Amino acid sequence: MTDIFTIARCEARLSVALACLYLLCWSVSAYLIPADARWAGWPLWFLLSCVFNPIAFILLCALMIWRYFTPVALGAQDES
Amino acid sequence: MNLELLIPLVVYLCAMLGLGFWLSRAPVSGSFVQDYFLGNRTMGGFVLAMTMVATYASASSFIGGPGAAYRMGLGWVLLAMIQVPTVWLTLGVLGKQFAHIARKVEALTINDMLFARYQSPLVVLLAALGLLAAFVATMVVQFIGGARLLETVTGLPYEGGLILFALTVLLYTLVGGFRAVVVTDAVQGVLMLLGTLVLLAGVLHAGGGAPAMFAQLAAIDPGLVQPRGPGGFLGMSFMLSFWVLVCFGVIGLPHSAVRCLAYKDSKAMHRGIIIGTLVGALLMFGMHFAGALGRALLPDLDVPDKVMPTLMLAVLPPIVAGLFLAGPMAAIMSTIDSQLIQASATLVKDLYLNYLSRTPPSPTAIRRASRLVTLALGLIVLWAALSPPEMIIWLNLLAFGALQAIFFWPLVLGLYWWRGNSTGALASMLTGAVCYGLLTTFGIKLLGLHAIVPSLLLSGLAYVVGSLSTPAPTASVRALFGRP
């Protein structure tokens, strides 16, 4: 049985890793796309970095919670 | 005076007040202090998410943010999207370990946690003073922002707006305590979200769709549709600083950290992360995108900070505008209330109950004192906002970053590095505060970075060096933090 500290550490590491991945995708989609490229009238960099990227990471975040976060009892008075 | 706008606003303020009174009648289980300052740890997932987002979205992100987006264009929206990971980072990193230990040592405030970890009254005292100074300063500025907003939109005189607005916040915080704060936060969060989405839809409709507006923006200045902004203002080191200031550094903000003490169970936390991330991202995107597009609709606004209220008046029918003006008001109120309750908790719980009272006072005395302190603090802030002293403006500039510079390492390394001790924490807090204060006051920018980056680096270094050069914490502390 793994204790709450191991679980908490693992989850903290995952959260930071996902944030770093977000940073990476954010900078790639914002700065490596030619600034003049257009898609359906929208600047392509804007569409990718401010619309698609956040949507993708909200989904990834939900996936992270569902797959890897473990429900644990936090204290004596409540069980989950 | 603009009655069409004023009436929905007043109705809204009354509703918040009613909610506070209604919540105060809920039966108190457990001790009064735990209930008043922490809502007895009963927060569910949705409320947790909303209160995180609402606390975080203050006047700066609802008024200053869209104003900056108006000037800087889409690049500023890109900058605002840096905040997407905030909720999962704060809840995930402090997360279960924080909540678990808080239950074990029955911690009600961040300072209780610091005491459990470092066993040093000096650390708590320093933290308490920093917290009070920062919160009072930010609350004053939020009050000023709220009153100015009322003044601009409804034509109510500044003092009138201020008092109307301040009394509402004060009253519901006073009667309902933390429970009222988080529940009103949840309502206000929903309202902010609706207001933002409706406004964005209105702006897009009025401007004839996004592509047409992008073309108009590009005609005004091609920089407005570039990631680097007009004249390349949004450079690499500027953006990097914001990554530290509004994303990673937020883990160390005491008023969001205290919410990690108050949720009900781990399921509430899981749900809170997902909902909070979604709502936060929508809010940040909507507000800033509307501000940036506003430039195409209202190209010559002389005060960019007025872009939100002006846009609302321009694209929405007055009665709807009045209702959704409550959005920015909600953002301001929800920031003030959470800081007010935490400042009182610091005074009553951390300073008075822990150090000043020789004999434990009776429960009635505590109850009376807690409310009295909340009231006194609120009145001091209100008085300061009526004629804001220069000092306050300066303190507010410092507050957000200084709180991070003071609390970040003692909180994060305290949780995850067993070797850290009180000397390290003290060194880190002092270094962070002094370094941040000096760099900001004298406007020194190393490599073009915001003062928070070097301050966090130095205070982290101070923590490690201070801890390693003095004895390790006692075995009981190590056991408590999972290192037998």
Helix (H, G, I), strand (E, B) or coil at A42: strand
* Close Cβ partners of B35 (under 8 Å, ≥ 6 residues apart): B28, B29, B177, B178, B179
Give me Rg for the CA atoms of chain B. 22
Residue B96 is nearest to which of A4, A31, A62, comparing CB atoms?
A4
Structure tokens at B147: 């009153």
What pLDDT score does A78 carry?
A: 44
- Asked whether residue B435 is domain-assigned, the answer is no
- Asked whether residue B398 is domain-assigned, the answer is no
Q: Considering Cα of B118, then B121, then B126, then B128, what sign does the dihedral take?
A: positive
Quick check: B291 pLDDT over 60?
yes
Task: Map chain B to HEC letters.
Answer: CCHHHHHHHHHHHHHHHHHHHHHHCCCCCCCHHHHHHHHHHCECHHHHHHHHHHHHCCHHHHHHHHHHHHHHCHHHHHHHHHHCCHHHHHHHHHHHHHHHHHHHCCCCCHHHHHHHHHCCHHHHHHHHHHHHHHHHHHHHHHHHHHHHHHHHHHCCCHHHHHHHHHHHHHHHHHHHHHHHHHHHHHHHHHHHHHHHHHHHHHHHHHCCCHHHHHHHHHHHCHHHHCCCCHHHCCCHHHHHHHHHHHHHHHHHCHHHHHHHHCECCHHHHHHHHHHHHHHHHHHHHHHHHHHHHHHHHCCCCCCHHHHHHHHHHHHCCHHHHHHHHHHHHHHHHHHHHHHHHHHHHHHHHHHHHHHHCCCCCCHHHHHHHHHHHHHHHHHHHHHHHHCCCHHHHHHHHHHHHHHHHHHHHHHHHHHHCCCCCHHHHHHHHHHHHHHHHHHHHCCCCHHHCCCHHHHHHHHHHHHHHHHHCCCCCCHHHHHHCCCC
Each residue of B353-363: pLDDT tens digit? 777 766 777 77
Quick check: B99 pLDDT over 80?
yes
- At residue B289 the predicted structure's pLDDT band, cuts being 50, 70 and 90, is very high
Helix (H, G, I), strand (E, B) or coil at A38: strand
Residue B81 is nearest to which of A7, A15, A54, comparing CB atoms?
A54
Mean pLDDT of A27-39: 87
Each residue of B193-215: pLDDT tens digit? 888 888 899 999 998 889 999 99
With CA atoms as reference, report the closest residue to B308 among A3, B316, B416, B447.
B316
- Asked whether residue B483 is domain-assigned, the answer is no
Distance CA(B105)–CA(B480), nearest Å, equals: 9
Residue A23 is nearest to which of B243, B265, B285, comparing CB atoms?
B243
Quick check: A1 pLDDT over 60?
no
Task: Map B98-142 to HEC letters.
Answer: HHHHHHHCCCCCHHHHHHHHHCCHHHHHHHHHHHHHHHHHHHHHH
Mean pLDDT of B118-147: 84
Size of interface A-B (CB pairs under 8 A): 134
Instruction: Check CB contact of B186 with chain A, cutoff 8 Å.
Output: no
Closest CA in chain A for residue B41: A78
Quick check: B326 pLDDT over 80?
no
Q: Which residue has the higher pLDDT, B2 or B422?
A: B422
Q: Which chain B positions have a beta carbon within 8 Å of A26's beta carbon?
A: 78, 81-82
Chain B stretch 255-284, residues whose beta carbon is closer than 8 A to a beta carbon of chain A = 264-267, 270, 273-274, 277-278, 281
**In this complex, do B211 and A31 lie within 8 Å of one another by their Cβ atoms?**
no
User: Does pTM surpass 0.90?
Assistant: no
- Asked whether residue B290 is domain-assigned, the answer is yes
Q: A42 - beta bridge partners? A: A39
Distance CA(B104)–CA(B35), nearest Å, equals: 17
Chain A stretch 7-66, residues whose beta carbon is closer than 8 A to a beta carbon of chain B = 7-9, 11-12, 14-16, 18-19, 22-23, 26, 30-31, 35, 40-43, 45-46, 49-51, 53-54, 57-58, 61-62, 64-65
Closest CA in chain A for residue B215: A41
Test the A interface: residue of B38, B43, B84, B87 with most A CBs within 10 Å: B84
Q: Which residue has the higher pLDDT, B261 or A28?
A: A28
What's the distance, Cα to Cα, between the start and end of chain B in Å?
Answer: 67
Determine which of B127-131, B186-190, B324-328 has the lowest per-residue pLDDT on average.
Answer: B324-328
- At residue B246 the predicted structure's pLDDT band, cuts being 50, 70 and 90, is confident
Mean pLDDT comparison of A39-48, B137-146, B183-192, B323-332, highest-scoring range: A39-48
- At residue B292 the predicted structure's pLDDT band, cuts being 50, 70 and 90, is very high
**In this complex, do A74 and B88 lie within 8 Å of one another by their Cβ atoms?**
no
Q: Give the CA count within 13 Å in the CB-facing half-sphere of B223.
A: 14
Contact by Cβ (8 Å): B65, B266: no
**In this complex, do B214 and A23 lie within 8 Å of one another by their Cβ atoms?**
no
Quick check: B103 pLDDT over 90?
no
What pLDDT score does B28 carry?
A: 61
Each residue of B220-242: pLDDT tens digit? 988 898 888 888 888 888 888 88
Quick check: B414 pLDDT over 60?
yes
Mean pLDDT of A57-68: 94
Instruction: Check CB contact of A75 with chain B, cutoff 8 Å.
Output: yes
Quick check: A54 pLDDT over 90?
yes
CB burial class (10 A; 0-12, 13-18, 19+) of residue B221? middle
What pLDDT score does B279 carry?
A: 92
- Asked whether residue B479 is domain-assigned, the answer is no
Test the B interface: residue of A2, A24, A61 with most B CBs within 10 Å: A61
Contact by Cβ (8 Å): B316, B198: yes
* Cα–Cα separations (whole angstroms), residue B127 to B116, B123, B169, B187, B387: 14, 6, 25, 31, 28
- Asked whether residue B288 is domain-assigned, the answer is yes
Q: Considering Cα of B92, then B96, then B97, then B103, what sign does the dihedral take?
A: positive
**In this complex, do A50 and B84 lie within 8 Å of one another by their Cβ atoms?**
no
Quick check: B9 pLDDT over 80?
no
Determine which of B77-81, B141-145, B251-255 has the lowest per-residue pLDDT on average.
Answer: B141-145
Residue B227 is nearest to which of A30, A53, A75, comparing CB atoms?
A30
What torsion do the CA atoms of B76, B82, B87, B92 make, to the nearest 10 degrees?
Answer: -170
Average pLDDT over chain B, rounded to an integer: 84
Residue B85 is nearest to which of A8, A19, A41, comparing CB atoms?
A19
Closest CA in chain B for residue A51: B285
Quick check: B68 pLDDT over 50?
yes
Q: Give the CA count within 13 Å in the CB-facing half-sphere of B435.
A: 24
The tally of domains found in chain B comes to 1
- Asked whether residue B195 is domain-assigned, the answer is yes
* Close Cβ partners of B226 (under 8 Å, ≥ 6 residues apart): A35, A43, B73, B74, B75
* Cα–Cα separations (whole angstroms), residue A11 to A71, B104, B283, B479: 11, 20, 26, 20
What torsion do the CA atoms of B239, B240, B246, B248 make, to the nearest 10 degrees?
Answer: 160
Domain encompassing residue B314: 3-390
- Asked whether residue B465 is domain-assigned, the answer is no
- At residue A72 the predicted structure's pLDDT band, cuts being 50, 70 and 90, is confident
What pLDDT score does B64 carry?
A: 73
Q: Which chain B positions have a beta carbon within 8 Å of A53's beta carbon?
A: 81
Q: Which chain B positions have a beta carbon within 8 Å of A69's beta carbon?
A: 266, 270
Determine which of A18-27, B58-67, B254-263, B418-427 has the lowest per-residue pLDDT on average.
Answer: B58-67
Mean pLDDT of B275-285: 92
- At residue B309 the predicted structure's pLDDT band, cuts being 50, 70 and 90, is confident
Quick check: B192 pLDDT over 90?
no
Contact by Cβ (8 Å): B100, B323: no
Quick check: B245 pLDDT over 90?
no
Torsion angles phi and psi, residue B208, rounded to 5: 75, 35
- At residue B217 the predicted structure's pLDDT band, cuts being 50, 70 and 90, is very high
Quick check: B314 pLDDT over 50?
yes
Contact by Cβ (8 Å): B65, B288: yes
What pLDDT score does A80 carry?
A: 35
Q: What is the CATH number of the domain that holds B42?
A: 1.20.1730.10
Helix (H, G, I), strand (E, B) or coil at A43: strand
**In this complex, do B270 and A71 lie within 8 Å of one another by their Cβ atoms?**
yes
Test the A interface: residue of B83, B88, B411 with most A CBs within 10 Å: B88
With CA atoms as reference, report the closest residue to B182 among B338, B24, B31, B319.
B338
Test the B interface: residue of A28, A46, A63 with most B CBs within 10 Å: A46
What pLDDT score does A79 carry?
A: 39
Structure tokens at B206: 């009025």
Distance CA(B361)–CA(B462), nearest Å, equals: 39
Closest CA in chain B for residue A11: B92
Structure tokens at A41: 């009238």
Structure tokens at B246: 């509004």
Mean pLDDT of B136-158: 79
Each residue of B38-47: pLDDT tens digit? 776 778 888 8
Could you say which DSSP state residue A40 is in?
T
Distance CA(B439)–CA(B403), nearest Å, equals: 15
